[in-house]
Chains A and B, each alone.
Chain A
Amino acid sequence: MIEVKNLYKSFGSLTVLKGVDLQVGEREVVVLLGASGSGKSTLLRCLNFLEMHDQGEIHVNGQRIDPKTTDLNKFRTEVGMVFQHFNLFPHKTVLENVIEAPVHVKKTPPDRAREEAYALLEKVGMRDKADVYPDMLSGGQKQRVAIARALAMKPKIMLFDEPTSALDPELVGEVLQVMKQLAKEGMTMVVVTHEMGFAREVADRAVFMDNGQILEQGEPEHFFTNPQQERTRQFLNSIL
């Protein structure tokens, strides 16, 4: 479903991605692991072109996505993204956050958008907060709304950029629960996370990045119990 070939990306003189190859199949859940600065977030952000890669190719559904020839706005409606800091729109209520893009990008009639939004909010357990402004919510609630907002565009792929890293520990579970549910329903997901429990339990594949490259990848069970690379072992030891 997603195919990344030999991707390079630099910020000024700092090369963050050094020839990354990655395939993600339909309905597959892939977690990107690695120390901070290893390039995993940058790779994720390249997947929906919030960062433009310098070299290499990104194909989605067999079609090469090239910023010069592809309508990126249209492309992004099919790729949902959830951010570490939620990035909800503070001047809009929970419901307005969710219907914003369907109504103004997809031109869904507001009535139908609202109906769908209520259903999504129900799904993430936020139906009763529909008319509240984001700054009245806890971090976990914000992130669940952010997931509902991304899902409202009916994306085919969901990207998660450290979705639980900004949360208080006791709020992590509620967000992971929603993500698990999503994985179970067959959503294609790429998740940058430090939640090893989630990676083990939910992911189909764990990908370990180090210094701008993919060092090792495999089934989570195998990956966690029997890593091949010394660097992977060090990383797992340091965080488990």
Chain B
Amino acid sequence: MFDILLSSYPMFLEATFLTLRLTAISLIMGCGVGLLIAFFRISHSKALQTIAHVYITVIRGTPLIVQIMVLYFGITEIVTLSSFWAGAFALAIHNGAYIAEIFRGSIQSIDRGQMEAAKSLGMSYPLAMRRIILPQAFKRAIPPLGNQFIIGLKDSSLVAYVGMQELWGTGLGEAASNYRQLDTYLVVGLYYLVLVLIFTYVVNRLENRLNTGAAKKKSKGYDSASQSV
């Protein structure tokens, strides 16, 4: 295994960067989609609610690999899309559904009194959302969002099946040529693990910084504090 690790690292490093680029782009888009769908879900419009509901149900109810295939072969019927962008869009749409639920939950977890206080000061709904509710909601969304990002990173491996030479795709190719499947796949797994560990560290740091930055917290719990603040 170690010889593979050593001999193949330039190729795998390149693949790692492709995985990272793919993941980053798809998750950024996914957050955009997620926020939009979250607003649809909490809006008063029945139509928007239904759109959000159908979207989330369909995406959560079907395998990612199916979504990637459908999007890749479906969209290339209409417009030609590189496997990178087909994969990125599929991942964005997929993660968007989960991220939407995370945002919805964190927005709805903010005490109703916050919106009432903002309104009582003459703030419009969008202004109150932007200045008062969302900053608090985003902070609460970070732990589950970090979790979803890790899942998104690992799920990006499925894009290998539409021809992307990212980490998993490169691993598949390698194993097919050197016939040492177990060792090669273990190496691939190691790359993913290191990425996830780095990512976890960054999320934890971010979480801590936001906690100490916004309020020098005592031992008081988050919820009991926000209830009465």
B side interface size, CB within 8 A? 29
- In the assembled complex, the Cα of A80 lies from the Cα of B122 at a distance in Å of 9
Cβ of A76 and Cβ of B122 under 8 Å apart? Answer: yes
CB of B120 within 8 A of chain A?
Answer: yes
- In the assembled complex, the Cα of A105 lies from the Cα of B125 at a distance in Å of 12
Interfacial chain B residues near A166, Cβ < 8 Å: 228
Cβ of B228 and Cβ of A139 under 8 Å apart? Answer: yes
- In the assembled complex, the Cα of A74 lies from the Cα of B152 at a distance in Å of 44
B229 contact from A90, A100, A153, Cβ within 8 A: A90
Cβ of A135 and Cβ of B114 under 8 Å apart? Answer: no
B127 contact from A74, A83, A105, A139, Cβ within 8 A: A105
- In the assembled complex, the Cα of A135 lies from the Cα of B114 at a distance in Å of 14
Interfacial chain B residues near A153, Cβ < 8 Å: 121-122
CB of B124 within 8 A of chain A?
Answer: yes
Most-contacted residue by chain B among A77, A80, A135, A142 (CB, 10 A):
A135
Cβ of A73 and Cβ of B124 under 8 Å apart? Answer: yes
A 54-81 to B, binary, CB cutoff 8 A, 1 in contact else 0: 0000000000000000000110110111
B 198-223 to A, binary, CB cutoff 8 A, 1 in contact else 0: 00000000000000001111101000
- Chosen A-B contacts, 15 in total, with CB atoms closer than 8 Å, are A76-B121, A83-B117, A89-B117, A90-B225, A91-B215, A100-B131, A100-B132, A101-B122, A101-B123, A105-B123, A135-B217, A135-B229, A136-B216, A142-B228, A150-B121
Measuring CB to CB, which residues of chain B are less than 8 angstroms from any residue of chain A? 111, 113-114, 116-124, 127, 131-132, 135-136, 139, 214-218, 220, 225-229
